[in-house]
Structure 1
Amino acid sequence: MKRMRYVLAALVTLCAAQGQLHAQSTATSWKMKEVPIQTRWAKEVSPTNVLPDYPRPQMVRGNWVNLNGLWEYKITDKDAPAPSIYEGQILVPFPLESALSGVQRPLKPTQRLWYKRSITKPDTKGDKRVLLHFGAVDWQATVFVNGKEIGQHSGGYQNFSFDITDALKPGSNELVVSVFDPTDEGSNPHGKQVLHPGNIMYTASSGIWQTVWLETVPTVHINNLRITPDIDKGNLRLEVLTSNGDYTIEAIASNGKKVKGNANTELLLPVPNAHLWSPDDPYLYNLSIRLLHKGKVIDTIGSYFGMRKIEVKKDEKSIDRLFLNNKYTYHLGVLDQGFWPEGLYTAPTDEALKFDIIAIRNMGYNTIRKHIKLEPARWYYHADKTGVLVWQDMVTCANGTPEAQAQFEKENKENIAQLYNYPSIVIWVLFNEGWARYDQKRLTEWMKHTDPSRIVNGHTGENYDRGTQAADKWVSSDLTDVHVYPGPGIPPTIAGKALVLGEWGGVRVPTLRHQWNDTEGWGYVQVAPGAFKPKYDSMVKALKVFETQGLSGSIYTEPFDVETEENGMITYDREVIKVAPEDLRKIHRQLLQQALNYAAAPSAFSARVADTANPDLQYTSLLQQFEKGKKEPEFLRELSLMAARLKDSKNATKVSAAYINELSNPFTLKNLNFINRFTQTTKDPGFNIFLKNQGKVDAILGDNSAINKVKGIIFNSEIREYVTGSEANPDWINIEKAVVPKYGAAGEAIFLRAKTIHHLNHKEWQNFVTAATLLIDKYEKDVSEVDLNNYAWFIFENISDTNSLNKALHWSRMSLDIKMTPSTIDTYANILYKLGQKDKAIEWEQKAIELDPGASGFKQTLEKMKKGEKTWN
């Protein structure tokens, strides 16, 4: 037994060393981009040291080459051909938008991202084959070797591989990867990623975001494993998948037990008196598997497994509970999003990836709900080794279209197959809070049939799905599950289902100097650092009451802050914990006695305990220091924020102006967030920064951020007073003379918009059409898809002349081209109908219904169109 463990450990070490040895190394000017805060591991990343560990711990081979490192990249239009010239270097596998990529740029739905690097053909003597593996690419990838298309894959979270042997030539070869990722504007499951991040949704992660590697294998080799423990029967059901069923499998576990049989058939490996896996004792068996042909060993892999059982059954009081290994076990968990300040979807190092799991356990939790994201294989490996129960979410369906639903189901099938063997995963979560929910009964039952060895949570947070009948909320699910913020709460009892609280908490505790955006933080409720510990303790006491009533599990939001969401137990940079971990373990002992045993070694976990003192109590003395001439930048920044918190607007303006005027480089995310927060008038120093540097500002804060800020200030300062009130009668000629010469195009754009909205509000329809036409013709890029859609709709409802309706149709089409939504499609269909294009209108209205099947108004409109009735008042 000891010898086998040594051999497998040595094999993993060899793989890591060999992969690192062959990683691409080149002199470069690569540099991590700036972020407001970063973790301690970011500084360990370099182009020659990028996630060097073997990426697939359950199928370990020795002959591999790590392709992480510097690649060339270029962003083109979506339909452009492969570029001949690339624009720079990107550090793979960090997402394009991340600081660690060295690029930190968004990928728009109208664009395509290209990667290129050279690879050396491995030794293929003896009819060996070369596999190219991708951990994950978000979202649609096309792979080329030496100009030849090798294959495509759609899905942002699943690993995939191609046999590239026949495309390789001796020596150097060109590898190109093309990526299309519409993020939240396509039919692709994208999780919490959005193009325009805010509360609850976060920065997108486009392109390659997990390890890429080459592996040399025999022609017939082990493709995959399917491992199912059965502790009651004392065996492991093992299926080893190959391309040829005539081969033989020989497997030996670290308990000395063996099994031999045919490939692609289920074999039973004896595991008598099994050492069971649990959070309290995460025991893993090593497993060596050999593929033989006529007695000769063809392929060998190292793997592992855990013996555990999860089910819902009644306790001694006839309450349906969650049972682990035939014992009731409360699932005390957290909602883990898996985001990093410098890497977004990708942890900077393997140690960082492991730290998160250890930190959660160290706080006394035994469960992680992995929220709307799949992690790299090594995350689940660390979960298995550390000992946590995992609730694995599926990645939410994008919308209600048939295309999105088909992609959702395709990816769910791949997700379960990919994650099937990890003992830590005990629950699959299908739908979250009614988001794009459909066919829940069918899909829940499909999931249970696909994997009867686990529990299925068909719908977590059903209380957010308001339109659903009570009987259908948890149809076919093993659990009833509600979300209650801040909570806690308990779901209703339904026979045969265990009760869980799928989300609760969300208490914001802002931590100065450890915030993604210190001008804007969010949580469901907020408490001062000194009040958090007693607040949380009282909430857990209430949770204990619900546990005695039948609650079997609870998921607290959340372990770590994420961007502006500051309701984590630990800050986003993983530096400050808001309640001491030993205190958290004592609090959690009320629900989970074993929590006291979950302390991590100091070498595995370190974080500073938050300062509970209230800095605002020092405001008067700090203000006096400012007035006496203290001007250090961090002092001015924190004093500005303090003045704003205390609603001292006069001094907030004065101190923030002093800070902004002293900035040597205002064009960082941290500084522009601050300038944006404290720029309210044309006299503030930030106004000219936004007015005169729109391109620089937009590159950091997002498209149109600068112009929208400037226009809002101009309107408030120069126009608002003349257009406010029902009796307002603006002198547009004088307003134009006062605004346009002073502010140029920005002034004219907001002047025309104000004029357009004024005529609209006063139902001066022809004047509205004239003003809106001038605005859109001259400043099309500044007009949002929402305004375009609204202007088109008001013409449809109130004007019947053909010229105006054709203008409205054009504006509606422009809105659709920017973003296609059910409401924009409905507008377009209605205008077509009013213009007499009935068949085309019906076709478009049906598209609106496909996107939003629950919208009764669209269905009524469609029926009127079919009957030839008016759809306008």
Structure 2
Amino acid sequence: MSSVAPSGPLDPDTVPLASRQDGRYPRPQLVRRDWVDLCGPWDFRHDDGDTGREEGWATGLPSPRTITVPFPPESEASGIAEPGFHPVVWYARTLGRDELAAAGHGPRRPRLLLHFGAVDHSAQVWIDGRFVGQHEGGHTPFTLDVTALLTDGSDADEHLLVVRAEDDPHDVTLPRGKQDWHEDAHAIWYRRTTGIWQTVWLEAVPTGAIDAVRWTPAGPTASALSVRFRGPVPDGARLRIALRFDERDEDLGSTEWDATHSHPTLDVTVPVARQRNGQAEDELTWSPETPRLVDAVLTLVDTDGRVLDVVGSYLGIRSVGVGGGRFLLNRQPYTMRSVLDQAFWPQSHLAAPHPLAHRQEVELVKALGFNAVRLHQKIEDPRFLYWADRLGVLVWGEAPNAYEFSPTAVQRLTTEWIAAVERDVSHPSIVTWVPLNESWGIQHVVTDPAQQAYARALVDLTRALDPSRPVVSNDGWEQQDTDIVTIHDYEGDGAVLARTYADETARTRALEGLAPSGHPQFVGGAVDRGQPVMLTEFGGVRFRPAGHGQDGWGYTSATDGPDWIARVAALHDAVRASSFLAGSCWTQLTDTMQETNGLLAADRSPKVPIEQIRRAVTGG
């Protein structure tokens, strides 16, 4: 797949509106006109004996099979469909001159960047047998400058790109989320994802280029912007920032800043909405009900006004926080009605089966009556976040946890979490960060001061990286310095659930002693500070309609469709009846492998008419 337009001169007028992209672009908040999608057929080999490096596979794979990238080899969509233990895998494909040209390569854009959306867990990369670089962290992106190897003056029409990926299924220090360490999926764990599972793509950039942008709300009429540059910025260079609200066909003005001394970053405050007698400051406010996005075109120019680089981006004007026992959106109490999403597909596992699937997933969340989604134990493809931004769904960003507490596990999760927050911090849809869930990787946090320190450190680290959002310390279990107190309760009787969370007396009782899971609600000296309380896992009612295979697993069970939807409604009614719950998260959006407790089947079809589910969820 090639880029959206042919290569040509750099021109701000040719940059597509980032807020109106079609959902294919792998980095939706920093868009260039020219790029090349390298997904599709690649050569592939398992390397169970880990002999490939010694045998010279970096120069070509012997007797390769064909895999369809970016689908993991465990999945049917990949064409390999071997879910057993294969800790080392290799990939190879050629890069041709036409692909370099389609990426925009030329005198104005001489640098070639090779991007990987995610490779689980570690990757090593070669071009024409020459080592390019490596990366560790199976859920976060990395970029390699491959200019020297693809433009070395040779007459070669093609270059060989080779990737080696390693993901030890038995290494419980890896941040792995729901990936099973057993050969077959069991209980609440699913098939593994090894190797490439997000987009591989190529783009050409100028010698001095815009490398990253970060938008942070700065009040109702402005946004803080941090721009990171790659390569030298010439003396006298300036950065122009032009804003537009396409929904209203309105230019919001532009500003210009001196970029000469900004390497590697330029930090500015950009006015977004000009007040009209103080009455219109919320005209551009983002929320699930009004998902308004402001487009930005960032143009780097030299002293003669010549365009050095130009990118499209977008931002959302909104604020989030907590206060008075409530979650606050744009300074007003907002009840979060969320659903847990494993974001796992039967045919392609953690990789979406096609780019449009991200839009369809967000549309289903809204159609079912939810205003929020908790992405569970997964750092999702940023194209999902784009659709959440554009269509209006709140997102809880959550780390895939390791299963062991050790210095290695601490280092790995911390490194990957920093990269995840950095990647996603500008998305207005993300409103809460969750670095830990149910004490995974900190199983002895009740008694171990080291594990308590680690959990607190992750919260403070997240706040240091992004002070603009609430942080949940350990979702559902054994919390310390948390901005939202979260409870997991899979009581199946709506009347019992209603009594448990009825009023302030019930609130006090719920936060003292043991949680429904049998674990202490607070540890390490933490106490209730009046934070919002949310029921962030409940429901989990098992039901699989006729024709959808055999029944699997759930926390409670329904006998048929009417019984199931009655249970869904009764449990949601109980949450709505509470005088203190600030939000909830239903388990779960879809059936996932052996778990049949979704509102939708694994193929995303509703188990009963979707209007019935929506009425049960919303009460209307």
- Alignment deviations for residues 628-657 of structure 1 (CA, whole Å, 9 cap, x no partner): xxxxxxxxxxxxxxxxxxxxxxxxxxxxxx
Aligned to 1:230: 218
What SS does the aligned partner of 1:521 have?
coil
How far did residue 585 of structure 1 move?
3.0
Q: Distance in 2 between matches of 1:330 and 1:136?
A: 33
CA deviations over 1:89-148 (Å, ceiling 9, x no partner): 000010010001000113636x42010110014244326111001111111100000101
Does the residue aligned with 1:228 lie in a helix, a strand or coil? strand
In structure 1, C-alpha distance between the alignment counterparts of 2:126 and 2:618, rounded to whole Å: 55
Aligned partner of residue 281 in structure 1, secondary structure:
coil
2:173–2:412: 8 Å Cα contact kept in structure 1?
yes
Q: 2:568 touches 2:617 (CA, 8 Å); kept in 1?
A: no
- Equivalent residue for 2:556? 525
The separation in 2 between residues aligned to 1:270 and 1:333, in whole angstroms, is: 32
Does 2:249 correspond to 1:252?
A: no
Q: Quickly say closer, same or farther: Cα 1:551–1:6, change in 2 above 3 A.
A: farther
Cross-structure match for 2:401: 396
Matched, 1:63 2:63: no
The CA deviation string for residues 303-334 of structure 1, in whole angstroms up to 9 with x for no partner, is 111111101011xxxxx100100111100111
* 1:656-671 matches, cutoff 5 A: none
Task: Report the equivalent of 2:267.
Answer: 266
What is the SS of the residue equivalent to 2:227? strand
TM-score, scaled to structure 1: 0.58
Find the residue that maps to 2:404 and give its secondary structure: coil
Question: Quick check: 1:184–1:193 contact (8 Å CA) kept in 2?
Answer: no
- For residue 425 of structure 2, what is the aligned residue in structure 1? 420
Aligned to 1:582: 611
Counterpart residue number, 1:543: 575
Match of 1:131 among 96, 113, 117: 113
Report if aligned partners of 1:140, 1:156 keep a CA contact under 8 Å in 2. Answer: yes
- The yes-or-no answer on 1:568 pairing with 2:598 is yes
Specify the SS of the correspondent of 1:534.
Answer: helix
Of Structure 1 and Structure 2, the greater helix share is in: 1
Residue in structure 2 matching 1:99, options 70, 76, 94: 76
RMSD: 2.2
Match of 2:300 among 291, 295, 309: 291
Take 1:107 and 1:289, find their aligned partners in 2: how far apart are those partners?
47
Which aligned pairs between 1:367-766 and structure 2 lie closer than 5 A?
367-437=372-442, 438=451, 439-462=454-477, 473-486=478-491, 488=497, 490=501, 491-492=510-511, 494-515=528-549, 518=550, 521-527=552-558, 528-546=560-578, 548=579, 550-575=580-605, 577-590=606-619
Paired with 2:352 and 2:461, the residues of 1 have a C-alpha distance of 33
Query: Structure 2: how far apart are the matches of 1:580 and 1:475?
Result: 41
Contact 2:565 2:616 survives alignment (8 Å): no
**In 2, distance between residues paired with 1:421 and 1:503?**
26
Alignment check: 8 A CA contact 2:569 2:616 kept: yes
Percent identity, aligned pairs only? 32
**2:465 is matched by which residue type in structure 1?**
T
Whole-angstrom distance in 2 between the partners of 1:499 and 1:86: 57
- Deviation of the 1:545 alpha carbon: 2.4
Query: Is the alpha carbon distance of 1:229 and 1:184 closer, same or farther for their aligned partners in structure 2, counting shifts above 3 Å?
Result: farther
> SS of the counterpart of 1:368?
strand
How far the C-alpha of 1:348 sits from its partner, in A, is 1.2
Q: Is 1:176 matched with 2:162? A: yes
8 Å contact 2:475–2:486 — kept in the other structure?
A: yes
* SS class of match (1:100): helix
In structure 2, the partner of 1:207 is 195
Residue of structure 1 aligned with 2:124, choices 120, 123, 142? 142
More strand by share: 2
Give the deviation of 1:85 after TM superposition.
Answer: 1.0
* Bigger mean CA offset, 154-163 vs 100-109: 100-109
1:364 corresponding residue in structure 2: 369
Q: Quote the Cα distance in structure 1 between the aligned partners of 2:618 and 2:406.
A: 46
Q: Deviations over 1:251-305 (max 9, x none)?
A: 1110422222124221111123241100111111111111122232111111111
* 2:114 alignment partner AA: L
Cα distance in 2 for partners of 1:567, 1:336 equals 12
SS at match of 1:456: coil
Q: How far does the alpha carbon of each residue in 1:539-597 deviate from its partner, in whole angstroms, 9 at most, with x for none?
A: 12211222x1x11111100010001100000100112x12433233333334xxxxx6x
**Alpha-carbon shift at residue 5 of structure 1 (Å):** 12
Q: Distance in 2 between matches of 1:270 and 1:11?
A: 19
- CA–CA separation in structure 2 for the residues paired with 1:381 and 1:373: 16
Match of 1:745 in 2: none
2:338/2:374 contact within 8 Å kept: yes
Which shows bigger deviation, 147-156 or 270-279? 270-279
Deviation at 1:511, TM superposition (A): 1.6
1 CA distance for matches of 2:564 and 2:201?
A: 45
278-287 or 177-186, which deviates more = 177-186
Q: Is structure 2 residue 91 aligned with structure 1 residue 115? A: yes
Q: Could you say which residue in structure 1 is the equivalent of 2:354?
A: 349
Which amino acid in the other structure matches residue 307 of structure 1?
I
1:183–1:190: 8 Å Cα contact kept in structure 2?
no
* Structure-2 change in CA distance of 1:568 and 1:63 (3 Å): same
Change (3 A) 1:75 1:588: closer
320, 327, 330: which is aligned to 1:325?
Answer: 330
CA contact (8 A) 1:250 1:258 kept: yes
Q: Secondary structure at the match of 2:112?
A: strand
Counterparts of 2:346 and 2:441, CA distance in 1: 29
Secondary structure in structure 2 of the residue aligned to 1:177: strand
Shift of 1:236: 0.7
User: Which residue identity does 1:125 align to in structure 2?
Assistant: G
Poorly superposed stretches of 4+, deviation over 6 Å: 10-13
3-state SS in 1 of match to 2:41 = strand
> In structure 2, how many angstroms separate the alpha carbons of the residues matched to 1:8 and 1:322?
37
Counterpart amino acid of 1:402? P
Residues 554 and 595 of structure 2 are in contact (CA less than 8 Å); yes or no, is this contact kept in structure 1? yes
Tell me by how many angstroms 1:184 deviates: 4.7
One-letter code aligned to 2:38: L
What is the distance in 1 between the residues matched to 2:114 and 2:12?
28
Distance across 2 between alignment mates of 1:108 and 1:442? 34
Deviates more, 1:149-158 or 1:4-13: 4-13
Structure 2 portions without partners, runs of 5+: 1-10, 245-250, 274-280, 443-450, 502-509, 513-527
Q: Displacement of 1:374 after TM fit?
A: 1.1
- Larger Rg: 1 or 2? 1
SS of residue paired to 1:423: coil
Q: Residue type matched to 2:266 in 1? A: T
* 1:5 and 1:286 in contact (8 A); partners too: no
Q: Aligned with 1:359: secondary structure?
A: helix
